Structure 1
Amino acid sequence: MAPLLLRFSSLSRPKPTWNSNHNLLITNQTLVAMESCSSMPELKQIQAQLTRTGLIFHCFPASRVLAFCALSNPPQMPHARLVFAQSPQPNTFMYNTMIRGYTRSTLPSMALLYFIALMREPVEPDARSFVFALKACEKFACVSVGEGVHSLVCKLGFEFDLVVENSLVHFYAEHGRVGCARKVFDEIPQKDIFSWTTMIDVYARSGFGFEAFRMFCLMRTSDVRPNEVTMITVLSACLQIGVLNLGKSVHAIIEKSDFNVTVNLLNALVDMYGKCCCVGSARKVFDGMETKDVFSWTSLLNAYAKSGDLELARQIFDDMPEKNAVSWSSMIAGYSQANQPDKALEMFRAMVAASVEPIDATLVSVLSSCAQTGCLDLGRWIYDHYILEKQIIVGVNLVNAFIDMYAKCGDLSTAAKLFNEMPKRNSVSWNSIITGYAIHGYGEEALSLFEQMKSEGVLPDDITFVGVLSACNHSGLVAKGRKHFEEMKTVFGIEPRVEHYACLIDLLSRVGLLEDVFELVKRMPMEPDAAGWGAILNACRIHGNVELGTCAGDKLLGLDPGDSGIYILLSNLYAGKEKWNEVKKVRRMMRERGVKKTPGFSSIEVDGKFHEFLSADKSHILSEEIYGILDVLYIQFRFKHRQ
């Protein structure tokens, strides 16, 4: 026995992470060894000693074994359950330990079973019993279980216990019950820092930035002083509100107070300034940081990317001493949102080569770039590799990105399959599939989906109506297009934007209703954009309306005098009406402005790489083979035609 005691009774060993007791005075050498236990093999040896001496049947030794099992990482709950079962009279601490342990594990339902057992025993629960039970209830989708615990809190007289009340606020916050959380908060007689910070966080996480800031202002009038966590939460609220001056006022409060200004708080400041497009202030905070982590660098990178300065963002990315998936995702998103999809895809390939696992946000940006470039093969590889092979559980946003990518790349059947298999859809899901059908000319199918969307209680937004009007446009459904345009404002209260007017202008122009187009343009609260005037000019060329076409051409040249397509359309309009002097003026204008016709080209994707070809182009490395195959195809075509 002596060697065993010697092994576990060293007072110089630090306490392991599971042990939170600091004031225990223990004289029994086996129990001293228990206090520094750090592994299951050690625990079993100590437990054997406790069993041999009979100590394991006493509450305190058993509770220490339970504490090790419940608070180790990961929790060792099967072993804890055996220890608990052999205890003749478990006390409140032991019940609480079992509830806490199962809450930390993947079996919160077992935590509630032990809580219910505690309620049925003559053992009195304490505040921690309810705190741990409510923490278990946070892991259930149904809020009613936690409401049952709340009723027991009131029944047993714990409704004025600060720790329990704070736990109730946090529980309701986790379930999105902002009103219930506020009601509990208001009933707390003496609020502490946790009470205030939790309530501010409830509002901030629920999207009520103004309410979160008002709560912070109320807190400052109380006798409770905010701490670092409070200020991080308030900065998040300022970011939601989008008012830079509020964020600056919070920054001033931080500088005037004696907060523990940690890296996390400074990172929150950099993030707030960056997302509010105040890059200079973000850089100033960053440069003043004595210690920087990967989140500091990523927040600054995001600031430059959001402001459109991708060169500096890339420089920061390259200079980062450490990169994580968020850093890569930020750079990829920057390129994707700046309409540089090729660079976004290049960055993603580099990320894969660096063996960095992408997160959902990465894949959403990459799929958007695939949709912009028509890179269907890469989009399919992402689905096969990350979803099918790795069995990643995808959220609604990622499924929406896949639907958008497949639809825009022409694979409508797969887009529809993913959409139909979604257990939960939002307005973006509907918008993506409706727009997909619309741009490929399936107008009736798109409108049918729109009706289904409304019947399922999903309210359309302005983006939905862009898809709906595009569907009418591509299918020539004039009456339905007019009807849906009018219903935007009269039924759904959505004010038409320039994009909606452009769709309707294009629809009316395609069928030659140029007088109606002219009247529509006069009634518009804003000038048509390039798409709208372009549709009018093209329709005037087709239908020979020189007067309106000239007006549209002048407007377009004012918007983009370097676009060669405008001059070509104008020239063709005048030529169709044999106005040769006007044709000469347009061509002279092109020469004087140095505008040259942009040559059209075709592209094809082979093994993930795009190849572009101009007319009579021989620059490709395989030009001879390509033209040889074209000659063969031409000969075969002529031979079959003669037969």
Structure 2
Amino acid sequence: MPPRRSDSYGFYAQLIHLCRSGKDLPRCKRVHELVLESQFSRDTFLLNLLVEMYGRCGRLDLARAVFATIPNPNCFSFNIIISACIQGNAIDEARLVFDKISQRNVVTWTTILSANAQSGNLLEAAMIFDRMPQHNVITWNSFLGGCARNQELSSAQKLFDLMPERSVISWINLLTALFRKGHLQEAIRTFLQMPEWNMVSSTLVINCCAELQHISRARKIFDRMPEADVVTWTTMIAAYGEIGNLEEAKRLFDSMPKPDTVTWTTMVTAYSHHGFMAEARALFDVMPYPNVASWNAMIHGYSHAAMADDALDLFQEMPKRDILSWNEMLGAYVHSGDIPCAELHFEKMPGHGVAAWTDLIVAYVHDGRLADAGRALERMPSRDCSTWRALLEAYARGGYIGLAEASFQRMPERNVVCWGALIYGYAVSGDRARATRAFGALSLEGFWPTITTLGSVMSAFSSAGMAKECRDYFGAMVLDFGLMPRVEHYWLVIDALVRAGDRAKAEDLALSMPFQLDNVARAILLRSSKDEKSSPRLIDSARV
């Protein structure tokens, strides 16, 4: 027996609200039919709700059709159809609707401003902002959020400073802008100035601390949170995994109320990233609901451990694969040096993206099959910076520095990542002079060095035991470029000091660096004590 139909006005509004939140299109259409059959078929309020309902379902065509039947659309009607256009990525259509409106309220202005700002058209957004008769905090936040999303830090900072009033969203937008531009220390300072913290701001700053490997500070913030969601827990676990503190990562994981699949995958990745494949597999095998990303993470671990047979067993067991699964299996063959299997797997792949072609080319270079690498490069439908970077590094590792330079010259466009790959190539080949010259050329080309680029130059001097030069670049990282050294940069300086025979300074730096003394630093320190007696505190620290 069909449900009894009510003629109550609120009944239809409630039905539309229920369908809108569920995004069930067949049910939405049925409710639409019920409204049309009722005495309220031309009611502006209910038709507005139907336009909004279809917009949220991603059916702009149906939203347009309903909007066209509204007898006398009001300001809210126009606001809703503009929002529907924006949700359907029809920004130009939203602008056309906006231009036709004679009466606009602050919501109308803010909606079109937000659309332009979020799509990256900040100049248009600024012009709309200047034309607005009035602004509220939502308007300011919409513009500020667009600047943050598009990494326009300077504009975001200026807007924030000009705001007559701020909400917690304003602070989060500024934090996001700072985080995305890599200004992590400033993001932490901004967070500490916030009048109140919430889960989003705390998670953002925990990410900043994790990037800087300030894990103790991240943990203090985490522990001070009245409640943390699954994203925050997972971020903290990932931070411990990144620095290799797997015991604390696992303790946190075990104490988490309800870890989701992403959290389980994060813990598996932490183990596999540091080579603990048995622990990673044991955790993977008891994961309640592994998804494709979980399987891919496990195969990725086997790939980098050069365990192609284990990777293949898992690949064949997968209930469902995506293109990344195929790429990871290809990488497993490449890392294991099994080029024939890599070629065969490549031919079986359902599709070949940039990553697959790049892996195959790198495999050929590592195998000394330069002609095959060249032919594969020519067959490649498209290339991006990651292709050229991988090719450069492969040539450099194989000692083909001339080919690395030729590849660099062939690049259609060069960004800081490409320059970094060339510098890395020179560093790997031991050509310190060219690495230094390339670093200088990068700056002359107008690129700002990244922390990775500086690390490449440092590695060239570190491997040669040129401690002074290595420390000079370490200092420039902070003083000249405003970048915070990571633990691997401390390793390079410690290694340079050890190679130069200055074990006392190497020990002092290792024991004073703002990171936990990990296995890499311990190995460097212990290497320095093989032939000579080391100080007790060095040995004690290295064996903790």
TM-score by length of 2: 0.71
Distance 1:41 1:276, change over 3 A: closer
Query: Which residue identity does 2:141 align to in structure 1?
Result: N
Match in the other structure for 1:551: none
2: distance between equivalents of 1:374 and 1:114? 54
Residue 83 (structure 1) shift = 1.8
2: distance between equivalents of 1:489 and 1:202? 27
Contact 2:308 2:336 in 1 (8 A): no
Residue 152 (structure 1) shift = 1.5
Query: Which residue identity does 2:434 align to in structure 1?
Result: H
Match in the other structure for 2:96: 116
State the SS of the aligned residue for 1:484: helix
Structure 2: any 5+ residue segments left out of the alignment? 443-453, 466-495, 502-526, 532-544
1: distance between equivalents of 2:153 and 2:174? 9
Contact 2:250 2:267 in 1 (8 A): yes
- Equivalent positions of 1:58-69 (< 5 A) are 58-69=43-54
CA deviations on 1:238-291 (whole Å, 9 max, x unpaired) are 11111222212212322xxxx233333222222222223222322222222232
Match in the other structure for 2:131: 155
- Equivalent positions of 1:115-134 (< 5 A) are 115-127=95-107, 129-131=109-111, 134=114
Distance 1:404 1:69, change over 3 A: same
1: distance between equivalents of 2:418 and 2:500? 23
CA deviations on 1:334-364 (whole Å, 9 max, x unpaired) are 3344xx31x255225413432232464x566
2: distance between equivalents of 1:149 and 1:495? 43
Query: Which residue identity does 2:318 align to in structure 1?
Result: A
Q: 2:59 aligns with which of 76, 88, 94?
A: 76
2: distance between equivalents of 1:59 and 1:293? 43
Q: 1:322 aligns with which of 271, 274, 289?
A: 289
2: distance between equivalents of 1:317 and 1:182? 44
Match in the other structure for 1:99: 82
Residue 135 (structure 1) shift = 3.8
Distance 1:170 1:62, change over 3 A: same
2: distance between equivalents of 1:272 and 1:451? 38
Match in the other structure for 1:347: 311
- Equivalent positions of 1:56-455 (< 5 A) are 56-72=41-57, 75-105=58-88, 108-109=89-90, 111-127=91-107, 129-131=109-111, 134-135=114-115, 138=118, 140=119, 143=120, 145-159=121-135, 161-219=136-194, 222=195, 225-254=196-225, 259-337=226-304, 340-341=305-306, 343-344=307-308, 346-358=310-322, 360=324, 365-380=328-343, 383-386=346-349, 389-390=350-351, 394=353, 400-409=358-367, 410=369, 411-417=372-378, 421-422=382-383, 424-425=384-385, 428-437=386-395, 444-452=402-410
Residue 233 (structure 1) shift = 1.4
Percent identical: 18
Distance 1:497 1:70, change over 3 A: same
2: distance between equivalents of 1:445 and 1:32? 68
1: distance between equivalents of 2:113 and 2:170? 19
Contact 2:464 2:499 in 1 (8 A): no
Contact 2:302 2:310 in 1 (8 A): no
State the SS of the aligned residue for 1:202: helix
Contact 1:63 1:94 in 2 (8 A): yes
2: distance between equivalents of 1:241 and 1:381? 42
Residue 498 (structure 1) shift = 6.4
1: distance between equivalents of 2:12 and 2:36? 11
Contact 1:263 1:291 in 2 (8 A): yes
Residue 65 (structure 1) shift = 1.9
Query: Which residue identity does 2:72 align to in structure 1?
Result: Q
CA deviations on 1:122-152 (whole Å, 9 max, x unpaired) are 22233265236524653x4xx3x34313322
Contact 1:437 1:445 in 2 (8 A): yes
Residue 81 (structure 1) shift = 1.0
- Equivalent positions of 1:561-576 (< 5 A) are none
Contact 2:54 2:63 in 1 (8 A): yes
Contact 1:96 1:128 in 2 (8 A): yes
Structure 1: any 5+ residue segments left out of the alignment? 11-25, 474-480, 503-523, 530-554, 560-643
Residue 412 (structure 1) shift = 0.7
Query: Which residue identity does 1:249 align to in structure 2?
Result: K
Contact 1:431 1:467 in 2 (8 A): no
Q: How big is the alpha-carbon RMSD for the aligned residues of Structure 1 and Structure 2?
A: 4.0
Contact 1:47 1:56 in 2 (8 A): no
1: distance between equivalents of 2:28 and 2:286? 47
Structure number with the bigger relative contact order (C-alpha 8 A, sep ≥ 6) is: 2
Match in the other structure for 1:516: none
Contact 1:103 1:136 in 2 (8 A): no
Distance 1:238 1:352, change over 3 A: farther
Contact 2:299 2:314 in 1 (8 A): no
2: distance between equivalents of 1:287 and 1:218? 33
Query: Which residue identity does 2:382 align to in structure 1?
Result: E
Q: Figure out how many residues of one structure are paired with residues of the other and give that number.
A: 455
Contact 1:333 1:365 in 2 (8 A): yes
Distance 1:457 1:200, change over 3 A: closer
2: distance between equivalents of 1:187 and 1:217? 20
Q: 2:434 aligns with which of 484, 501, 504?
A: 484
State the SS of the aligned residue for 2:9: coil
State the SS of the aligned residue for 2:278: helix
CA deviations on 1:511-538 (whole Å, 9 max, x unpaired) are xxxxxxxxxxxxx976499xxxxxxxxx
